[in-house]
Structures are given as structure tokens and as C-alpha cells.
Amino acid sequence: MISIKTDEEVELMRQSARLAAEVLVMIEPYVKPGVTTQKLNDICHDYIVSHGAYPSPLNYRGFPKSICSSVNDEICHGIPSDRKLRNGDIVNLDITTYMNGFHGDTSRTFFVGSPRKRAKKLVDVCRESLQRGIDKVRPGARLGDIGAAIQEFVEGSGFTVVREFCGHGIGRNFHEEPQVLHFGHPGKGIELQKNMIFTIEPMVNEGKADLRILGDKWTAVTLDGSLSAQFEHTLCVTDDGYEVLTRLNGLTPF
């Protein structure tokens, strides 16, 4: 069942989503060669807790850390560790905060040091595909409109869309209905209504879309070892369009 938020609930979600967005802005200067993903996890954890919130991933279905950190061929759900980032890497940091009884969810793929040409194109396409999907959001639109816009742009740019993972409703629960696919057909799927809140979070691979899950039972990696990028926003359907709850005016770079 899809939860349609009240105006009061939307305001509470704005606050949690804003904090998640602030974490991504705060952590950017620390994403550099030589830092471990565990260090990035610890910095984000301390920031979230110091603002009276809780990092949603921590202990969620057994996940052991406060953020997800996915490097290079890791698609999503990477577990922070003592792995040191190297110049030329790309790393997605997925941040979800729980505050005021609601979750806010966002992620961004960062360049570590100097980006490689192919990696830069992949990341740019992924970021733009997210916006292409967001631009379809309005009352009366269909979820298929979002997925189709993302798929068309990504595949037209020479990359592939991961199909095993999707965006999701969010609110009092970390994951709610509906599922928001990043592929599909215009005019198909659930009709969007005012005060529906969900994430759009395309995962885009440099090579084939196929994946496998590592032995930690969390980390998804590309089957062919190619690079993967992801961007994510939490957004709310408004009277005539959308509000991106995890976008800070003038600060959030995507």
C-alpha cells in the first residue's frame, strides 16, 4: 500500500532529507586519495548523530555500517572498510538519515582525485539520467514515464541500466511502496499523486547490466568488472510538479 503523506509529514520529511543532503556536502572534502571508506563512514556517522538523527543503514537487516560506500565496479550496498581510495577511483556514498520519525535518502558518486575520461562520462550520464527521471514527476504522470526517460537516455549514451535494484517509497519506513524502476514504458505503471514521496536512484554500468552479489551478502558488483555509478534523490509530488527534498539550493551539486 502506498502512503500518501500529510502536509505535516512532508514538512518532517523535509528536515530529515535536508540533513541527508547536508551530509553529502559535508563529506566531499574528505573524499580524496588515501582515505579509507571506513573513515568516511565514521565522519558521516558522527555528523548525523551530532544532529540528533540516526544513520538508517546501521543494523538495517544486519547491515553493519552507517553508510554504503561503493567503489568502481561496486554497484551499490558496498560496506565501508579499511580499503584506501586511490586517485582515479569513483565512489558512491549512499546516505540515509532517520530524524523526527522519518527517513531521508540520497547518494552521489564522487571522483577521487583526477577522474578518468570514461569514468567522467559515465558519472555525468548517470547524474543527468536522474534529472531526466525527476523531470517526469507530476500528478497524473506514471512511474513508467520516469523509468522510460532514464532508460532511453542511458542506453542512448552507450551505457546500461541495472534492473535488479530500484527506487522506492520512503517515509516512516526506510523502504515503502511503490517500487520505482529505472526502465520501462511511458504511460505505464502507478499514477503519481500529490504528497507521494519516493526515491529515484539510477545505477548505470559502463559495460553490461549483469551483476553478482559478493560473499558479504550485500555488495553488488558488475559481472564484467566494468565501472558503475549511481545518484539518488528523495522527492515529493507537488500540486503541479515535484520538490526534491534532498537538494540544497545553491549547495547540492546535482
Note the pLDDT tens digit of each residue in 120-131: 999 999 999 999
Note the pLDDT tens digit of each residue in 87-139: 999 999 999 999 999 999 999 999 999 999 999 999 999 999 999 999 999 99
Does position 249 have pLDDT exceeding 90, yes or no?
no
Note the pLDDT tens digit of each residue in 230-242: 999 999 999 999 9
Does position 7 have pLDDT exceeding 90, yes or no?
yes
Q: Per the domain annotation, does 207 fall within a domain?
A: yes
Q: Per the domain annotation, does 1 fall within a domain?
A: no
Q: Per the domain annotation, does 254 fall within a domain?
A: no
Q: Per the domain annotation, does 79 fall within a domain?
A: yes
Give me the CATH number covering residue 140.
3.90.230.10
Whole-number percent of the chain with pLDDT over 70: 100
Number of independent structural domains in the chain: 1
Interval 8-25 mean pLDDT: 98
Average pLDDT of the chain is: 97
Q: Grid coordinates in use for 158?
A: 552507450
Whole-number percent of the chain with pLDDT over 90: 98
Domain membership of residue 178 as a residue range: 7-244
What distances in angstroms separate CA 140 from CA 64, 170, 190, 230, 240, one per listed residue?
39, 20, 9, 27, 9
Q: Per the domain annotation, does 20 fall within a domain?
A: yes
* Residue where the block lists cell 554500468: 205
Distance CA(175)–CA(19), nearest Å, equals: 18
Distance CA(101)–CA(93), nearest Å, equals: 23
Distance CA(213)–CA(168), nearest Å, equals: 20
At residue 64, φ and ψ (nearest 5 deg) are: -90, -5
Q: Per the domain annotation, does 2 fall within a domain?
A: no
Q: Per the domain annotation, does 252 fall within a domain?
A: no
Helix (H) or strand (E) holding 26: helix 7-27
pLDDT of residue 252: 76
Burial of 207 (0-12, 13-18, 19+ CB in 10 A): middle
Q: Per the domain annotation, does 129 fall within a domain?
A: yes
